[in-house]
Structure 1
């Protein structure tokens, strides 16, 4: 892995964590842009939306909108216990 390596962590329902080195795949993409579209808080819920756009050597452009919604007290920074 190089200094600018990119690791992706995934968690399975059985409690196992997998670490993927996706550096090779990301560095082959000519362009990757991430833009936060919204960050709303309503009725103790937080909704965040992001647009991810990629472009490659084949002149294709791909875009996706990712939306995350979670309860304010159980946000992404709260401690969560995982069970086996």
Structure 2
């Protein structure tokens, strides 16, 4: 059996554990990253943004801990956002 087949079998066996509802994902983000919820009215400037559909935003979260953010961003992302 190839590594791919083993990996696929493992995925099939665990796929139920890999699927989360939106609420479960939010709960995990709030807990793991100490995120805070904020009102989407704070980002009204995105209403006409052509990169997203503002009406489909159902939850807004922010993570402000610099050390935590530094740990989750790659070097390239840090360079883009000037987090170094």
TM-score class, shorter-chain normalisation, is under 0.3
Superposition TM-score, scaled by structure 2 size: 0.26
Structure with the larger helix share: 2
Structure with the larger strand share: 1
Larger-gyration structure (1/2): 2
